[in-house]
Structure 1
Amino acid sequence: MSAPPRKMELSPKVIAAIAAAVLALVVAAVAITVRVEHRRHGHDREAGHEEHDGHQHGEKEGAHGDGHDGDHDHDHDNDRAEKHAPDEPGEAHAHGDRLKLSPAMIQNAGLEMLTAGPGNVAVTVTLPGEVALNAEAIAHVTPRVPGTAREVKKQLGDTVTRGEVLAVLDSRELAELQRELLAAKERLSLAEASFTRHEALWKERISAEKEYLAARQAVAEARIEHRSAAQKLSAAAGSGAGKGTGYALVAPIDGTIIEKHIAIGEVLKEDTQVFVIADLSTIWVNVTVYAKDLSRARIGQTAWVKAEGIEQSARGTLAYLGQVVDEQSRSAVARVVLQSPGAAWRPGLFATADIAVEEAAAPVVVSDEAIQRVEGKDVVFVEEGDAFEARPVKIGRRGTSGGGPPGAPAAEPRRGAPVVEIEAGVAAGERYVGKNSFILKAELGKSEAGHQH
């Protein structure tokens, strides 16, 4: 019979020793792994440095061996490829300060070509203002007698002529005045008949002279009464008096109805403002002249006026300059009169007036819109063959176009358009981009950004 197996019992000290040994083995293994990885990465870096140095060395050898700079060859290849690349629709190519656009892009951009040439530059003072009605060409239509609107013939915005009927009223007061006139007329007829009879009897010595004189006096009084009744009716109704109780409101001037305050059946008093008619063939622009500009402003000077929402400016004349300066704003009021400016010029619009205070001849002027700012310089995009060159220019006086000097063709910008005198950079006769030149500036900027990248 075999003996039972013996149980191995470990003391706490033995267990602690075993755990310490296991932990030491784990730490050693981790350290060995880290050292191996470190040596492998160091080898890779050294190989990379050697490869990089070899690459640089090869580049230098290629550059010095061929006698050509590698970067120069790269740029030359790009320029050659760009030169031979066909222009795609809507594509722009830049070579330095020259920009070439495809025909499709030129058409879509709406570029306007102008010709630089001599012209008069009108130095102007820009003043703020407001479009207003010509206060001397306004008529207020009011009934002279109270009445009720029977018929309204004209509406707001209608164009009317002088004497045209605007509305018809029924007036009890007018009917009473007409009745008095008819009664006075009848009394005058009776008095004249009585006088004729008494005159005949007096001449035949049948009646006494006293009766003849009394009949004569009665005729005179009847005539005075009739004349007075007619004047009262005329004063009340004027040319609007009609048959019966009808009273017509008529237009006193030619113009446009800008206000209407009447409806059929409405009872109107004699002071009711029924219609307002304005002659819009001339309008005013009331501008503010500040103290610093008062000495330069003169009555009769030409003014070019622009209003919000209206593309084309209008030419007018400074017709009035106030003699009193406002104590608050230290400015005076001036008035520019515009003749037949068009229906778009509505009273109440804000406006600016360029008053021409000085005008001088310049050998070369271009449109102010053509001037663009590129890299801190003023440039004009001048047509050079099939490309546009951003030509730096020296700017002189700024103002509005006053036309060409005597004996010289006028510059292309229309009269009153903003222009700039060119002292250097563009010669007379050269073609340049006058409208939408900012598109070329944007394309040039994009091309430069692409090359830098």
Structure 2
Amino acid sequence: MNKRDISLPYFLMLIVFFIVNMLSVKAVVADDEHEHPNHHEEEVAHIDEDMASLNSISTAVASGGDISKTMTLYGIVTLSPEHTSHVTARFAGRITRVYVEYGDTVKKGQVLASVESNSSLQTYNVTAPLSGSVIAKHANAGEVVSEQTLFTITDTSTLWAELKVFPSQASLINSKQTVVLQSDDMQTRSVISQLLPNTSGEPFRIARVKFKNPDDNWFPGLLVGAQVLIDKREVNLRVPLSALQQYENKTVVFIKEGDVYKPLPVALGIQDNQYAEVLEGLNAGQEIVTENSYLIKADLEKDGAEHSH
């Protein structure tokens, strides 16, 4: 047998050995990928404290608290009947002098007008029965008066809101429920004092809310919205709505561990206008992003888009 006869089988054997080894390596890799199908680099964002502060990224420790369910009603501000007075003359006679004008602010006991009595021909004073504003004036010097209203005075330091309660809402609205009244940037808290029938024949009831107006910022005729507290319960874990984001088709919060921020899918329960209950995915005591979490979401989505190319 010559050298050529010996070298050819040997060369073929080397080729077979090489192919078998390559297949073995591929099999090991395939098995490893089968056992760890989700094995990839964890999606996180690295943001140092200075950058977080610059972008107003705020965090808080997750904890429990109250979830408050509210219902929105709408209505109008009205005068307080018990703080409004219609002033008349005690005895019929002629007005000799008027001391106040429409729109003036008066004090209780202040002289409003002087009247000469028809019977005694003596002059007496008509005084303010309460402090407030003159919102109507029907008195001029020289006029003869008897039983008509001369002045209407109201104290606007206390007002009422009359809110419409429609049939679909009526079963959830009761007296003594807490109410937050709001108009533009003004807000005040009170309770429902009365529930009254609507005398106009329209299909709603009236929830009347008495509230203080010490700075005289509220006024009759003002349209208001009201958040009525209809249910309140304590939950083991809640997060602000501002902490929630939609990421990769999941509702997530972003947790902070040092300079590392990462998304954490959560399952939610009841929620109100401020908070959502967390049922699964988050533990009390973990630090979560509460403000501007969308910046972290945008950063992760940007990195994901770059890696996909």
TM range, normalised to the smaller chain? 0.5 to 0.7
Q: CA deviation at 1:178?
A: 4.1
Code of the residue aligned with 1:423 in structure 2: it is L
Q: Does 1:151 align with 2:79?
A: no
Name whichever structure is richer in strand by fraction.
Answer: 2
Q: Deviations over 1:351-392 (max 9, x none)?
A: 232322333221112334443444544333444323544443
Partner of 2:80: 134
- Mapped contact 2:137–2:150 kept (Cα < 8 A): yes
Code of the residue aligned with 2:176 in structure 1: it is G
**How many Å separate the matches in 1 of 2:266 and 2:48?**
22
Name whichever structure is richer in helix by fraction.
Answer: 1
Q: Does 1:349 align with 2:295?
A: no
Q: Does 1:286 align with 2:139?
A: no
Unaligned runs of 5+ in 1: 1-94, 182-232, 234-240, 242-246, 401-417
Partner of 1:395: 268
Q: CA deviation at 1:287?
A: 1.5
Report % sequence identity. 23
Counterpart of 1:274 in 2: which secondary structure? strand
Code of the residue aligned with 1:393 in structure 2: it is V
Q: Does 1:277 align with 2:154?
A: yes
* CA separation of 1:387 and 1:348: change in aligned 2, threshold 3 A: farther
* CA separation of 1:138 and 1:446: change in aligned 2, threshold 3 A: farther
Code of the residue aligned with 2:95 in structure 1: it is G
**How many Å separate the matches in 1 of 2:260 and 2:214?**
40
**How many Å separate the matches in 2 of 1:431 and 1:157?**
57
Q: Does 1:164 align with 2:122?
A: no
Partner of 1:106: 53
- Of 235, 238, 246, which residue of structure 2 is paired with 1:362? 235
Partner of 1:425: 281
Counterpart of 2:301 in 1: which secondary structure? helix
**How many Å separate the matches in 1 of 2:285 and 2:216?**
38
- Mapped contact 1:260–1:274 kept (Cα < 8 A): yes
Aligned positions of 1:295-334 closer than 5 A? 295-310=171-186, 313-323=187-197, 328=202, 330-334=203-207
Q: Deviations over 1:55-111 (max 9, x none)?
A: xxxxxxxxxxxxxxxxxxxxxxxxxxxxxxxxxxxxxxxx945362663663564x5
Q: CA deviation at 1:320?
A: 1.6
- Mapped contact 1:121–1:359 kept (Cα < 8 A): yes
Partner of 1:250: 127
- Mapped contact 1:288–1:332 kept (Cα < 8 A): yes
* CA separation of 1:446 and 1:295: change in aligned 2, threshold 3 A: same
Partner of 2:305: 452
Name whichever of 119-128 and 335-344 sits farther off. 335-344
Which TM-score applies when normalising by structure 2? 0.66
Q: Deviations over 1:421-449 (max 9, x none)?
A: 22223333344444xx3x43156326634
Aligned positions of 1:207-246 closer than 5 A? 241=124
* CA separation of 1:132 and 1:384: change in aligned 2, threshold 3 A: farther
Counterpart of 2:221 in 1: which secondary structure? coil
Counterpart of 2:99 in 1: which secondary structure? strand
* CA separation of 1:101 and 1:283: change in aligned 2, threshold 3 A: farther
* CA separation of 1:112 and 1:325: change in aligned 2, threshold 3 A: farther
**How many Å separate the matches in 2 of 1:114 and 1:345?**
36
- Mapped contact 1:291–1:331 kept (Cα < 8 A): yes
Structure with max Cα Rg: 1
Partner of 1:379: 252
Q: Deviations over 1:210-233 (max 9, x none)?
A: xxxxxxxxxxxxxxxxxxxxxxx8
Code of the residue aligned with 1:452 in structure 2: it is A
* CA separation of 1:106 and 1:138: change in aligned 2, threshold 3 A: farther
**How many Å separate the matches in 2 of 1:325 and 1:150?**
38
**How many Å separate the matches in 2 of 1:371 and 1:350?**
33
Counterpart of 1:136 in 2: which secondary structure? helix
**How many Å separate the matches in 2 of 1:258 and 1:447?**
64
Q: CA deviation at 1:257?
A: 1.2
Which TM-score applies when normalising by structure 1? 0.47
* CA separation of 1:176 and 1:299: change in aligned 2, threshold 3 A: closer
* CA separation of 1:253 and 1:303: change in aligned 2, threshold 3 A: same
